[in-house]
Structure 1
Amino acid sequence: MGEEVAQQEFSREDRTRYREKVRRCLDVFARMLRDARFDADDPMTGLEIELNLVDDDGNPSLKSSEALGAIADPSFQTELGQFNLEINVPPKQLHMHGFTAFEEGVRTSLNTAEENARAVGAHLVMIGILPTLSEGHMSPATISPNPRYHLLSDQILAARGEDIVIDIAGVERLRTTSDSIVPEAACTSTQFHVQVSPENFPAYWNASQAIAGVQLALGANSPVLLGKELWRETRIALFEQATDTRSEELKAQGVRPRVWFGERWINSIFDLFEENVRYFPALLPIVEDEDPVAVFEKGETPHLAELRLHNGTIYRWNRPVYDVVDGTPHLRVENRVLPAGPTVADTMANAAFYFGLVRTLAEHERPLWSQMSFSAAEENFHVAARQGIEANVYWPGVGQVPATELVVRRLLPMARAGLDAWGVDAEERDRLLGIIEQRCLTGQNGASWFADRMHRHLESTDDRMDALRTTLNEYRAHMHTNEPVHTWE
């Protein structure tokens, strides 16, 4: 998301040219799906983690530029807010001890980054929403200096035509407004990437959609926003509202939101890119020089820059990705459901559960999505965001069931079989899925631990921000032990 952009203003002609170019890219993409060879023989998996910065007291630290300079590692990049960073982890093949390599690499990078960032008065925290954010941090002044972020904010506000309203009712109620998209910066997530062939993409995307609610129930880690206890994964509601380009009138007309679960199971990755072009106007109508038709007809691989940029401004919870590496195209499902944290060990356990379960479901002879309505999957998603690890979800053949019971009785064996199909080492598999099992048995994930500790501190103080800072500093200390959250006292 942090690429530089040169153009800062767009004319009507720019938008017309961009729409035509995107449609030309879409036509070429359809031809590529029929005729091109995509890299999928030995698929890679990937990982991105967004992070928050705090000072010694646990308050947000607006020092992303200084921290990046001190860290001096190209795998760390800017994010939307000055209190954010992102680490992009090199892709791995799971059958080559991929989880161990992921975990060791992330821990080493984060430990080094923490040590270096400390020199400029900043500390790294993996959590879905930084609980010590206040209204003062929700202003355009806290957006990172990268012009792309300011441009995106301006375009979303211009499309909306009015301030953004954040209205979330959970344990408590929060209603506030913003004249920029900086509330989106409060949402820090973990993203899993799985490389697939064009033929297998629909099954992997559908499976990812079907299990999104279960993922959220187990991994919720965002219970507090601006001092209010809201949903267990408040990040879902916040992200949906913070980037909404629709006025109330457009919502009433049924115009689709840019943060979107979707509305149907798919038969091809083309379905998703076609929806992007059909339903969503451009936010950043930047036209490149490449002629995708000429490039493809020369036998080369077009980059389809406009189609990819447009896709990057539509925030599906499971996003389709087209990319080109060393002249060869490939496709990925980008799973964007989960928040960051609480620990690297928990992140790896979440990854193992996702990669294993999605493979089993995608390759099953009777697809899950043939037994389950799309609306049921979407309902599971939002129920789990509200209730976290205590959520009841719908599952075909079972009906309504506690998510933890469903995981222990049915889904963990499927995840184990999927990891075996990936060729994952048995010791890696059992350790990471064991963390998921214990999280279910104890009923404790990041959100439930944080809320419980916060309430305990509130018994001895009337200062909620003081209780939040104390709880966050305890959270950060636990995070550095890398002991999974189900073991925290």
Structure 2
Amino acid sequence: MGNLEVLVLEKKKDRAKYVHQLINDLEALEYMIRNGLIEKEPVRIGAEQEFCLVNNSFLPVNTSMGILEGLNDNHFTTEIGKFNLELNLDPLELGGDCFSRLHKDVVTFLDKAKEIAKKHQSRILLTGILPTLRLRHISEEYMTPKKRYFALNEAIKRSRQQDFRIHIKGVDELNLLNDSVMLEACNTSFQMHLQINPDEFIDKYNWAQAIAGPVLSACVNSPILFGKELWSETRIAVFNQSTDTRANSFVLNEKQARVSFGSHWETKGISDIFKDNISRFRSLLTSDFEVDSMRQLADNKIPHLKALNLHNGTVYRWNRVCYGAAGNKAHVRIECRYIPAGPSVADEIANMVFWVGLMQGQPEEFKDIANKEDFKNVRANFYKAGRTGLDSIFTWNDRQISAKDLILHELLPISRRGLKNSEISEANIDLYLGIIEKRLKSWNGAEWMVKSYRNLQHKKKPLEAVQVLTAYIYENQEKDLPVHNWQILQPELQTHFHIQRIVKHNMNTNIYTVDEKDSLELVINMMQWNNIHHMPVINSKKMLVGLLSWKDVEKFIKDTGSRHQCVKQVMKKDLITTTQDKPLEEAIELMKINEIGCLPVINKNKLIGILTRNDIHT
């Protein structure tokens, strides 16, 4: 989709024209498969590296367009968020030292991007979800100004006809409404491509599905979103919900989501996977398709199947079937989309080596797996891995087994055999599978983040904690250290950079509130029980309408007759408030000038926190 100028499908005539082109592309694909026009060898690998852009305080920064212009390199392209970019690596033939060469290519291109980023006061960061993201970053204001992103956003919103309800439950819980697909911008991935012999494609695709859960469990790196500790790989839940075209209703919805793991084994042919997608998911976008694919084949030209690829680009299977053409040769490949970016380039290449080795080393006992294993077990394994990473217990080969035991004792040996059979150098095999093995015996990216974040919160409020966390992710990445060599961050750790403090850094969000109709007696007891000196008052719409201080209620402690009054009769109504993005120094000055000890923090008249003198001195 990135190479096309796309429009929202609106008119019946345009929809019919696009469907005709889709069917024409499908016929061309089937013709090429029947007549042996799809490459069987050599096997090639490829990758897409998505990355985040942050400022010197490690907060997201909207500099992608300027950096892209400065790069002037077709290997780089935009993502939906202004604070992300993507690097597309050149494909390499599988064999020899191809993985260390890919490693070098990624580092070389990222170094080039870092030099340009410096000129824009920006830094490059690899992570599945940037820990310093805030709700403000998922508004349309932060959407990359490209027609295709606005077209996709408009098409999905039109299909839903309601806001996106996001609900993710982990250790913490995230529950919010958003009015665009921009939540997708939270996700950054390292997408891996493996070319597949078309004669083996269906069996290989099913094997890719079978190993997805165990592979993901070793690679999880996205446990934190908006300061909340959610899934080990929160990207899975975020992406599932952020581009869902299905509307919420009181009717049981049996439709499959556009982002999905799938619901069944594939048992037919390559083209049938595309047919299933077209049957389930209506086209959202269109473009100008001037070429008849069947006519191109008649002229001995390999078509690019642009209409089919455009539709495929709006159906987000975690293992996606891809068609490509270059040099008048066609190929099919599997795109593995569930692996997060980071923690380091070394980790990413190790993840890819592990996956490719498994794909190439598929044991005989797992051939024709569709007739040997229940697909629901495989699907359950995938979502277990997303939630709990290496703590998962998988159903594998008719038994329950821990993720670590399965990978260490069964899957790593399979991967090693597959790599040897593909004539990968011993040095590459030992280096990258060694990283996976050491990770299993220490911690993966998600475990490192969670342990470090919990430690930091002993001494710091959440915003400062995620900034420090992100700073040390950056430092370790600059050394290209695999995550098993990263030290867990300790509570007393100080930053190496200056934090421009705002109210959000110090405000307290774990607050008690009362309704204006509550009794004064309840307020007095709540303040005594919890040793608090300020009590915000909200109405039925959760709007801030008043404030009670201990001085306001202290005189009623002994006056039992007055304690039956309602809060509304006693509370202060003329309030001085602040916002979370106001510089902390200005908020402190506001408190001094007005001789008050508390500032309610509001967003659109709704209470989101409170700043007191005690918070300022913590």
Fold conserved between structures, TM > 0.5 = yes
Separation (CA, whole Å) in 2 of partners of 1:161 and 1:111:
43
Deviations 1:213-254 (A, max 9, x none): 112110001111112111010000000000000012498231
Q: CA deviation at 1:99?
A: 0.6
Corresponding letter in the other structure for 1:247: A
SS in 2 for 1:49: strand
Does the CA contact (< 8 Å) of 1:3 and 1:148 recur in 2?
Answer: no
Alignment pair present for 1:143 and 2:139: no
1:450 aligns to what?
Answer: 449
Does the CA contact (< 8 Å) of 2:9 and 2:15 recur in 1?
Answer: no
Q: CA deviation at 1:367?
A: 3.8
Q: CA deviation at 1:391?
A: 1.3
Alignment of 1:59-78 (within 5 A): 59-78=59-78
SS in 2 for 1:199: helix
Corresponding letter in the other structure for 2:456: H
User: Given the superposition, is the C-alpha separation of residues 150 and 363 from structure 1 closer, same or farther in structure 2, using an over 3 Å criterion?
Assistant: farther
Corresponding letter in the other structure for 2:156: I
Which structure carries more helix by proportion?
A: 1
Q: CA deviation at 1:31?
A: 2.0
Percent of aligned pairs with the same amino acid = 35
Corresponding letter in the other structure for 1:348: I
Deviations 1:241-293 (A, max 9, x none): 00000012498231111001112222321221110111110010335111222
Separation (CA, whole Å) in 1 of partners of 2:413 and 2:187:
32
Alignment pair present for 1:187 and 2:187: yes
Deviations 1:88-139 (A, max 9, x none): 1111123131011001111122122112201101111110011111111110
Corresponding letter in the other structure for 1:344: V
Does the CA contact (< 8 Å) of 2:39 and 2:198 recur in 1?
Answer: no
Does the CA contact (< 8 Å) of 1:94 and 1:422 recur in 2?
Answer: yes
1:437 aligns to what?
Answer: 437
Q: Which runs of 5+ in 2 are unaligned?
A: 488-618
Q: CA deviation at 1:9?
A: 6.2
Separation (CA, whole Å) in 2 of partners of 1:363 and 1:94:
22
1:297 aligns to what?
Answer: 298
1:467 aligns to what?
Answer: 465
User: Given the superposition, is the C-alpha separation of residues 79 and 288 from structure 1 closer, same or farther in structure 2, using an over 3 Å criterion?
Assistant: same
Alignment pair present for 1:357 and 2:358: yes
Does the CA contact (< 8 Å) of 2:38 and 2:329 recur in 1?
Answer: yes
Separation (CA, whole Å) in 2 of partners of 1:8 and 1:245:
14
Alignment of 1:76-475 (within 5 A): 76-249=76-249, 252-267=252-267, 268-361=269-362, 366-397=367-398, 399-442=399-442, 444-461=443-460, 463-475=461-473
Runs of 4+ that moved beyond 6 A: none
User: Given the superposition, is the C-alpha separation of residues 250 and 332 from structure 1 closer, same or farther in structure 2, using an over 3 Å criterion?
Assistant: farther
Separation (CA, whole Å) in 1 of partners of 2:214 and 2:293:
40
Does the CA contact (< 8 Å) of 1:4 and 1:147 recur in 2?
Answer: no
SS in 1 for 2:446: helix
Separation (CA, whole Å) in 1 of partners of 2:278 and 2:364:
29
Q: CA deviation at 1:337?
A: 1.3
Does the CA contact (< 8 Å) of 1:2 and 1:79 recur in 2?
Answer: no
SS in 1 for 2:167: strand
Q: CA deviation at 1:203?
A: 2.0
Does the CA contact (< 8 Å) of 1:23 and 1:277 recur in 2?
Answer: no
User: Given the superposition, is the C-alpha separation of residues 41 and 115 from structure 1 closer, same or farther in structure 2, using an over 3 Å criterion?
Assistant: same
Does the CA contact (< 8 Å) of 1:21 and 1:287 recur in 2?
Answer: no
Corresponding letter in the other structure for 1:464: P
Corresponding letter in the other structure for 1:170: G
1:485 aligns to what?
Answer: 483
Q: CA deviation at 1:19?
A: 1.7
Separation (CA, whole Å) in 1 of partners of 2:124 and 2:393:
33
Separation (CA, whole Å) in 1 of partners of 2:342 and 2:324:
27
Separation (CA, whole Å) in 1 of partners of 2:387 and 2:251:
22
Separation (CA, whole Å) in 2 of partners of 1:250 and 1:240:
20
2:22 aligns to what?
Answer: 22
Separation (CA, whole Å) in 2 of partners of 1:29 and 1:21:
12
Count the aligned residue pairs. 486
Q: CA deviation at 1:303?
A: 2.1
Q: Calculate the TM-score normalised by the size of structure 2.
A: 0.76
1:31 aligns to what?
Answer: 31
SS in 2 for 1:337: coil
Does the CA contact (< 8 Å) of 2:245 and 2:257 recur in 1?
Answer: yes
Separation (CA, whole Å) in 1 of partners of 2:349 and 2:286:
37
Q: Calculate the TM-score normalised by the size of structure 1.
A: 0.96
Does the CA contact (< 8 Å) of 1:58 and 1:472 recur in 2?
Answer: yes
Q: CA deviation at 1:438?
A: 0.9
Does the CA contact (< 8 Å) of 1:143 and 1:182 recur in 2?
Answer: yes
SS in 1 for 2:448: helix
Corresponding letter in the other structure for 1:414: I
Does the CA contact (< 8 Å) of 1:92 and 1:98 recur in 2?
Answer: yes
Separation (CA, whole Å) in 1 of partners of 2:417 and 2:296:
42
Corresponding letter in the other structure for 2:354: F
Does the CA contact (< 8 Å) of 2:363 and 2:414 recur in 1?
Answer: no
Q: Which has the higher contact order (CA 8 A, sep 6+)?
A: 1
SS in 2 for 1:95: coil
Q: CA deviation at 1:4?
A: 4.4
Does the CA contact (< 8 Å) of 2:259 and 2:318 recur in 1?
Answer: yes
Which range moved further: 29-38 or 184-193? 29-38
Bigger Rg, which one: 2
Which range moved further: 224-233 or 34-43? 34-43
Does the CA contact (< 8 Å) of 1:71 and 1:117 recur in 2?
Answer: no
User: Given the superposition, is the C-alpha separation of residues 245 and 84 from structure 1 closer, same or farther in structure 2, using an over 3 Å criterion?
Assistant: same
Does the CA contact (< 8 Å) of 2:220 and 2:232 recur in 1?
Answer: yes
Does the CA contact (< 8 Å) of 2:8 and 2:285 recur in 1?
Answer: no
